[in-house]
Chain A
Amino acid sequence: MRIAVLNFPGSNCELDTIYVLRRLLNLDAELVWHEAFDRSGYDAAILPGGFSYGDYLRAGTIAAHSPAMKHVRAMADEGKPVIGICNGFQMLTEAGLLPGALLRNEGLSFVCRWVSLRVESNRSALTWLLPKGAIIRLPIAHAEGRYVNERRAIRELWRNGQVILTYVDELGNPTPDANPNGSMDNIAGICNERGNVVGLMPHPERGAEGVLSPFGSEDGLMLFESLLYFMNGGDRICGAG
C-alpha cells in the first residue's frame, strides 16, 4: 500500500501530510516531485495544500495542467483514491476531476481558523469510517475557498451523497455565521460519484493530533484512517449508514 504525496513548486503542506501518514499511521507514504511522478506502484495520490506555482494565475490552475495531472487523472479513472486538500482541492476542480469552482472568499481576505464541520456523507474515501451527521473539528487556511456551482449541479451532488462536509456551528447547523468563506450550501468538501476522488478545504493533516487542537480533537486522523480502509476494500468498522 503506497501513497504518493505530490510535491509541486509552491506546495507547503507536503511535509505535514507526510508526517501524519508516516509517523502517526505508519503508512508507506512518499513525497514525489511532480516531474518525477509516475502512477505505477502507487495505490493513492494526495495533492497537498499550499500555493502551487504561487497561485499566480488562479489557485491550482497551473498545477492542474502539469504533466503530473495526467497520471492523477488516470488513477482517478482506475478508481484509486485521489485526495485534494485545500490547494489540492483547487487543482482537482481546475482539472475537472471534481465539479464546481473555488472562488475568492466572500470576505476577500485569507482566513485561518478552526471550524466545525458536519459529515454529510460517508461514501467518500475520506469519510468512509465516519458516521453521517458527526461533527468534527479541523482548521482552515485559505483565501480562495468559496465553493460555487450551478444550483442544479449542487442539488445533484446532494442527491448522490457527493457533498461530504459542510461548515456548521457548534450545534451542527449550517448557519451563515458558521460559513467562513461564503461557500454555497456551506460546502467544505465534495467527492466524485465513485467516492474515490475527494476534495476539501479544511486541513485534516493539521487536525490529526490532540496537541495541535484547541479542542483536543484528533478528527483529522479519522479521515486518513478512512482512506486506509477505503483502499483496503472498504470494510467499515462501525457507524456505517
Chain B
Amino acid sequence: MPEELDYVIGQLGREPNRIELGMLELMYSEHCSYKSSRPILKILPREGPRVLVGPGYDAGIVDIGNGYVVAFKIESHNHPSAIDPYNGAATGIGGIVRDILCTNCRPVALLDSLRFGPPRKGRTKWLLKYVVKGISDYGNRIGVPTVAGEVEFDESFETNCLVNVACVGIGRRDSIVLAKMESPGDYIVLMGSSTGRDGIHGVTFASKTITAESEEERPSVQIGDPFMKKMIIEATLEAVATGFVAGLKDLGGAGLTCALSEMSFKGGTGVEVELERVHLREEDMTPYEIMLSESQERMLFVVKPEGLERVLGVFRKWGLPHSVIGRVTDTGEILVKYRGEVVARLPSKLLAEAPVLHRRAKRPRDLAKALKVPKPREPKDLGRALVRLLSSPNIASKEPIYSQYDYEVGIRTIVKPGDGDAAVLRLLEEPRAIAVKADCNSRHCRLDPFNGHAGAVAESARNVVAVGAEPIAAVDCCNFGNPERPEVFWQFSEGIRGLSYMLEGLGIPCVGGNVSFYNEDERTGRAVNPTTVVVTLGLVEELDWVTTMAFKEHGDEIFAVGRTYAEMGGSEYYHWIHGISGGRPPRASPGRERSSMAIVKEAIRRGLIDAAHDCSKGGIAVALAIMAIKGGLGIDVDLGRIPRSGVGRLDELLFSESYARFVISARPGSARELRAIAERHGGAISRLGRVVDSSELFMRYGGRAIRCGLGELREAWNGSMRRYLGEL
C-alpha cells in the first residue's frame, strides 16, 4: 500500500531495495501483522493467575501446577486447504505442531475444526475427503493423537472451506523456551528441511480473497513431510534438553524474514546472517527467494556458543540437515549478507511492527430482516422430526471421520472422540488430566455476532465442564471475510466483543489466537459465516471426576440443568427441518452459564453424576437421544418438567438451542441433593424422568406422547455421514 511505503521511507530515510521491499511486504501482510485486527483484539482478557505466556508468542502457556505447564494454540489453514485440501490440511497440522514444539512442550493432542459447504455438493465431498486424509496421513505419522474437533456444513463455506487446527503440548515450567534472541554472540542455527522455492508469498496469498485464478496459486501451498516432522520433534526436545538452546522458533508464514525479525525484536537485539550458508533444495536460489521461502519443517535455534557442538551433535544423530547461518548482534537490525555483500539491512522493529489500520465497521443492512422470520408450522410427527434431525450432517455422528485419526497414540486419551463432550488426556506422571474442546456455531454468529461468539466461548467451556474439568484458559481462531468491507469488519468487532464479554464473565483468559480474513467467494461476493472457533482448556484434578455422555444404568434419574427459552433462530431444527436460515439466535448470559456450570461441576465432584452432556445443536431432544444411543438404553421422561420461560410450543421445547443447559443422569435418590446444589448456585434444575431398560425414547408432554425406537435413532445418527458423503 502506498501509505505503508511512505511510512517505510520515512523511517528508513531511503527507498528500500527489492529484497527489503519483499520482506516488508510479507511482514505487513494481514496474516503476519494483524494490522486490521490488533486494535480490536486488545479488548480480550488475557491475564490470569495461571497464565505464563499470553498472546503474541507462538503459543499460550498456562501453569497447571506441580511444575507442569500446558502450551496450546489454534491456527487456520483455510486458503491452502480450499485449493489443495490434502497438502493444505497436512501443513496446517505441521505449522501448529511446530508452534507448540518451539516452547519446548511435547505436542500431545490435535483438534480439528472443519467447515464445508452443503454435504451433497461434489466440491464438499472432494474437500472433506482430502482434508480428512491430509490430517490422517500427517497427524498419524507424527505420533500426535487427533482427539477432538467439530465439523459444520453451511452454504457459506462452499468455496472457501475452513480448516482450523489446534495443538496442545505438555512441558515443565522450568524448561520453557521462548521465541527470543536476547544475548548478542549466540549462534543462529537453521534446522530441518532444506529451503526451497515452495510457498513463496504464501502469506500474501492467504491475505486475499479466493478467486478463479486461485487455482493457479497452487504452488503457493507448501508440501509437508510428516516423517521429517516426527524426527524434528524428537531432535528438538533432545537439543533443548542439553541446556544450550536460548531461543527457538518455527519457520512458518514469511519464513526466515519473520523468525529473524520477531525473535530479535522481542529480545531487543539484532542479527547478522549469511544466506549462502542456508542449506538449499535448489542451487540457484536468489537471496530474495531464500528470505521469503515458506518451505515446511524448519526450525530456527538460538544456541549458546559454548554448546554449539553439543546441539549440532543431536541434529547429526537424527540425520537432520542444519546450518549455522549467523549470530545475534546488539544492533537492533536485521543485516542480511550474501556472498560477502550486504543485501538487506532493516531495523527489526520496522519489520515486526506494521502500522495499524483502523477499519470502518458498519452493521449489515439486511440483518434486521433476517432476524425477523415468521414461525414455521409445528410438524405433526415430532418423533419423525427428531429422527430426521439426528441425520443432519451437522448433528450426525462423525465416526467415519475420527476413526481415520489415531486418537490413542501417546496413551493419554482417556475420553475418546464421540464418548464425551470434550477429549480428556491424562498426565502420565500423576493422576490428573486435562480436557480440551473446540466449538463454534457459525449460524448463530452470522445472525448475531455478539451473542453467537459469546455462545462459542460458553459452549466450549460447558463441554469441558461436562467431562469433569474446570475451564482454565482459551485460545481463539477468527475466520472472517474481507475486512476492508465495513460489514465484515462490523462482524469481526462485534464478535470479539462477544468473546470478551463471555471470557470476562466466566473468568477465562484468552492466551493466544489467530485471525484469518479474506475468507470469501469472489464469484458470489459472499463471505463465510463469521466464525471464531474457541478452544477451551480444562483441568481435571481427580480422575474419578471424568464423566462421559452415555447413559449408564437403567433406573438412573435424568435431570435438565438450565432454563430453556424459545430461542429458535439459526437452529439446526429451523435449518434442516424447515429450511429457514433466519430468526433471533440464543442470547448469551455469563450469569446463567456460571450457575449451570457450577451445578454440574459440584454434582460431578460429589460423585452424583453418571453422565453429562451439554445442549447445543438440536437442543434437549437431540442431547437425550444421543445419550440414549450411546448407552444403548431407553428413557421415560416428562418434557413438561423442563425448566423454561416463554416456551409455548412443544417443538420449541424440544429443539431450542438456548445456551447454559446440560442434561445429566444421576443415581436414584440424588434429587434432593442436586436441588440443594442448584439452589446454592442460583440455577434451574428439574428431574425429567429416568433411564429405562428398553429400546425406546418415550417422551410425554401434557396429553401428548413421542415415541422413537432406539434402533431407528441410531441408524439415523450413525449412518448419515456415509449416506451423504459416501465412503470417506
Contact = CB atoms under 8 A, between A and B. Distances in A.
A19 B227 contact: no
B227 A112 contact: no
B318 interface: yes
Interface stretch (A193-201, A204-212, A231-239): A204-212
A53 interface: yes
A112 B408 contact: yes
B411 A212 contact: yes
A101 interface: no
Interface stretch (B135-143, B192-200, B450-458): B135-143
Contacts of B407: 112
Contact of A12 (B143, B319, B414, B426): B143
Contacts of B403: 109, 111-113
B414 A51 contact: no
B413 A12 contact: no
Contact of A16 (B140, B230, B409): B409
Interface string B530-552: 00000000000001000000000
Interface in A114-150: 139, 141, 143
Contacts of B1: none
A54 B408 contact: no
Interface residues of B, number: 34
A9 interface: yes
B230 A203 contact: no
B137 to A, nearest CB: 8
Contacts of B319: 9
Instruction: Name A's interface SS.
Output: mixed
A67 interface: no
B727 interface: yes
B410 A16 contact: yes
A211 B414 contact: yes
Interface string B419-450: 10000001010000000000000000000000
A109 B411 contact: no
A206 B407 CA distance: 11
A206 B411 contact: yes
Contacts of B413: 212
A121 B411 CA distance: 27
Interface string B296-333: 00000000000000000000011100000000000000
A16 B408 CA distance: 10
Contact of A54 (B226, B317, B428, B728): B226
**Residue with the highest number of chain A CB atoms closer than 10 Å, among B133, B141, B727:** B141
B518 interface: no
Given A211-B543, A212-B411, A109 B142 contact: no
A33 interface: yes
A50 interface: yes
Interface in B442-490: none
Given A112-B406, A206-B408, A107 B727 contact: yes
Contacts of B137: 110
Nearest to A113: B403
A96 interface: no
Most buried by A among B402, B407, B408: B408
B408 A9 contact: no
Given A13-B409, A141-B406, A212-B413, A33 B317 contact: yes
A214 interface: yes
A131 B28 CA distance: 67
Q: Which of A49, A111, A206 has the most CB of B within 10 A?
A: A206
Given A13-B143, A212-B408, A214-B419, 15 more contacts: A12-B142, A16-B410, A20-B411, A54-B226, A55-B141, A109-B136, A110-B136, A110-B140, A112-B402, A139-B408, A141-B409, A143-B140, A206-B409, A206-B411, A212-B414
Interface of B: 133, 136-137, 140-143, 225-227, 230-231, 317-319, 402-411, 413-414, 416, 419, 426, 428, 543, 727-728
